[in-house]
Chains A and B, each alone.
Chain A
């Protein structure tokens, strides 16, 4: 056990985590160079495209130092705030972490949040400044930043260019020298932390485990701590880097376990596995069930694709226990699903995977947070869809989730970013210079205000320099109202949304103006109204179409005319009918980017 090192890499998107991981695999001959696809750790096409890692995937390397073979287990972590709970569980499985910072960018908000988390968990931090080969690298400044932010002496910093292979050997040496070997007793009762779970079509659900105490082998009867459910182990193995079956996993080791399980919900991240016979008395601390924070409706663009959407969601759910969904019926959009996500990226990734891997075309309704409603009766209910909001006289109080946002930015953009945060009902908490070129600004904000386009705005107002991270801080009472959108007096359920009352007019107006632009002129006037309850707060009209006539219809070329009409008819078929009003699919998408409109 003393030759095992378990570690993660903490880094911001694009700071070179995957490239460094590739170099480690190459030097340790875990994967021969010729087989190394760039960024092997990033499995999915989507991950590779977005340059981010969505899901942690461990890999085991053997590194020989001074004649001794060390087993290095790299537990990769997702790099986005949506998955911070997964990050924390992955970090819990390690004794150390590489803190990788781009020499041209310096520390970013997510890096800071995750590094602090690692330090709180007692991990040994190995600071690395990467991309030192770039002309714009400022090693001195970034060293200072690391020193000031994390109180880590500059002397500990390793300089690398993962791309060029510079400094990678030192990193391997530091992993062996600085990170302590795991502690634990192979003869104690089994205590294994599930830090990830995936679905494998041959083996069923695999739990990725860090064994803290005890040992486990095929044939053992195991018990999942939170549920008490018992299973028989069919296989254990290690990541070498492909699944490699071995006889036994024991204290200190990282590996996988299969037990012919079909439902990924049986192995929840953070849960503890022990043996049915002689179980541990206490689980590995820190388990919680991931709660979806953001919901939206997914509807098939073609009504007939409902079954396909259902199958696709159930397939995604096989490998993503945090994805929840339930059937929803919209008067406007027909049959679809209300889907819950850990956060915005999770939502975006899920939508893209549904579209890309399953070839579905979707309408996504405006995302919303989960509201907590205190009823006059004293009962507290949570609603995942604005249309479920009880009638006003039944409501005592509405609460919405708040977050604490940490924004790191060059000082030049403090003004515009604070303006943005204030605009989004933010409450200023703190501002702190990390060094001469970096400022940390902290705000408390309603989650609802950041789920639409906060991140994009943050990026555009800081010319891409600012980074952002957040953590949930709980529910707070708020003056919220539900806005309904009516077309010729008929409410369109899929367009309802919740907003703070001070912003109700502005949002209502913006949405109906947007709708006025995307709803085609019809044979009659179409009135578009935004209303709170029965009170109309804004109104627009799409004037009736005056002209749609083919003047020339002679020369006998009726075929062409008919085909044009048939095409027009096809277009009409794709519209959704609300009463007599036909609205194009874009109308539902248009409301998603209303804030792109000039204010």
Chain B
């Protein structure tokens, strides 16, 4: 891993309702006071990491859950907390949901230094949104976007494709409407059925079926092509942006930088060790109350594991694997280990040479798990 520069992730595990597909750790907010209470515990966790935070953080990402549930006063509290421990980073993203965006909140975000908003639009089709169990309509998203655009020039939209009741024309319309707003960044995610979700229950009961694989692929390829035509570059499997507007924070995950995750269920990667915080709020609180790190899982990675991880993360990106960077980090030529495998995938048309190393082809990206399995 590359030491020094760190990214900070803060998880806000609350939503006003649970979406049918979502497998992230989050609970339905029953009492507004839970939010301030949660910030109190976050501050305990900050205190534990204060040495690591100082002058080291280059990006902040507040994700969830639904961070846009915070009222302006809570946002200011959070801001105070942050800057007690660190200085304003270059990129500061907050995730937001259309139904909870107000002008007051957006102003507060800007006041504490947020300079990028990732909006969970998911679709511009109301039927699709209701099937997904989203608590907003397409109209809510349009309203939210118009507010955001008044204050931010770095906005990202999230969309989901491969949804059972969505066809190609709906997908096409959604993307067309999206780019009309001129977002700097888009993330397109194929629907997957995660354990414990409503979709998972429906799927097991035969109430819903997975979309035909070929159609999912067609939707992805359409998205890649359509966005490219409109000036967006794919820089990672699911991420597209105008040149220079890539998410610096997210990019760090794929370039093997260190990051610190705070909050329930957040993950960290520091000094070759991966940590995961408790995903139960009770355990998380209890641990912090006792002054202990709220870590549920940690794993010191062997060099082999790290090399495998590095490659599969790097291969998710457009630049791909950089041989020199690999040698810098691990002190060994990756070809001495993976040459035959790379040759096999190049032969099948799934990988290609770049000036600095290797990357996946369009065809390879679509079956990337099959390739990663051979590398880890």
Contacts and interface: CB of A to CB of B under 8 A. Distances in A.
Nearest to B238: A551
Interface string B234-263: 000110000000000010011000010100
A566 B376 contact: yes
A553 B376 contact: no
Interface in A549-599: 549-559, 562, 565-566, 568-569, 572
Interface string B354-375: 0000000000011111101100
Contact of A551 (B189, B254, B297): B189
Contacts of A535: none
Interface stretch (A359-367, A453-461, A540-548): A540-548
The residue among A550, A568, A569 with the most chain B CB atoms within 10 A of its own CB is A550
A591 B274 CA distance: 45
Interface stretch (B99-107, B128-136, B209-217, B327-335): B209-217
A572 B373 contact: yes
B366 A558 contact: no
Q: Across chains A and B, which 8 residue pairs bring their CB atoms closest together, nearest first? A: A556-B267, A548-B369, A551-B189, A551-B190, A569-B373, A546-B217, A557-B267, A551-B238
B376 A547 contact: no
B64 to A, nearest CB: 10
A216 to B, nearest CB: 67
B269 A548 contact: no
Given A555-B63, A557-B267, A565-B312, A549 B237 contact: yes
A558 B350 contact: no
- Mostly, the B contact residues are mixed
B233 interface: no
A558 B274 CA distance: 8
A558 B368 contact: no
Contacts of A550: 192, 368-369
Contacts of B267: 555-559
27 contacts: A523-B348, A523-B370, A546-B213, A546-B217, A547-B213, A547-B216, A547-B367, A548-B366, A548-B367, A549-B365, A549-B368, A549-B369, A550-B368, A550-B369, A551-B190, A551-B238, A553-B237, A553-B253, A553-B316, A555-B267, A556-B9, A557-B276, A558-B253, A558-B274, A559-B276, A565-B373, A569-B376
Contacts of B274: 558-559
Contacts of A555: 9, 11, 24, 63, 261, 266-267
Contacts of B297: 559
Interface residues of A, number: 24
B250 A554 contact: yes
B309 interface: yes
Given A546-B367, A548-B367, A553-B253, A568 B373 contact: yes
A524 interface: yes
Contacts of B214: 546
B313 interface: yes
Nearest to B369: A548
Contacts of A547: 190, 213, 216-217, 220, 366-367
B299 interface: yes
Given A546-B213, A551-B190, A553-B253, A559 B369 contact: no
B319 to A, nearest CB: 16
A584 B312 CA distance: 25
B268 interface: yes
Contacts of B266: 555-556
A522 B345 CA distance: 13
Contacts of B261: 555-556
A550 B299 CA distance: 22
A591 B253 CA distance: 46
A559 B299 contact: yes
Interface string A160-187: 0000000000000000000000000000
Contacts of B217: 546-547
Nearest to B11: A555
Interface string B267-303: 1110000101000000000000000000001010000
A550 B253 CA distance: 15
Contacts of B250: 554
Given A549-B367, A557-B276, A562 B309 contact: yes
Interface string A301-327: 000000000000000000000000000
A353 to B, nearest CB: 36
Interface string B165-207: 0000000000000000000000011101000000000000000
Nearest to A573: B373
Contacts of B9: 555-556
A523 B188 CA distance: 24
B295 to A, nearest CB: 12
Interface string A514-525: 000000001110
Given A556-B253, A556-B266, A556-B268, A549 B299 contact: no
A546 B370 CA distance: 11
A555 B274 CA distance: 13
B103 to A, nearest CB: 28
A558 B309 contact: yes
A548 B368 contact: yes
A589 to B, nearest CB: 24
A566 B305 CA distance: 11
Nearest to B252: A556
Contact of B366 (A522, A546, A565): A546
Contact of A552 (B238, B299, B372): B238
Given A550-B368, A565-B372, 14 more contacts: A522-B370, A523-B370, A546-B213, A548-B369, A551-B190, A551-B237, A551-B238, A552-B192, A552-B238, A555-B266, A559-B276, A562-B308, A565-B376, A569-B376
Nearest to B161: A551
Contacts of B372: 565
A565 B368 CA distance: 11
B57 to A, nearest CB: 14
Contacts of A566: 376
A523 B366 CA distance: 10
Contacts of B350: 523
A549 B24 CA distance: 19
A548 B366 CA distance: 6
A557 B348 CA distance: 30
A562 B268 CA distance: 15
Contacts of A554: 250, 253
Nearest to A564: B369
B134 to A, nearest CB: 17
A557 B276 CA distance: 8
Interface in B10-58: 11, 24
Given A523-B350, A556-B267, A559-B299, A548 B370 contact: yes
A565 B373 CA distance: 6
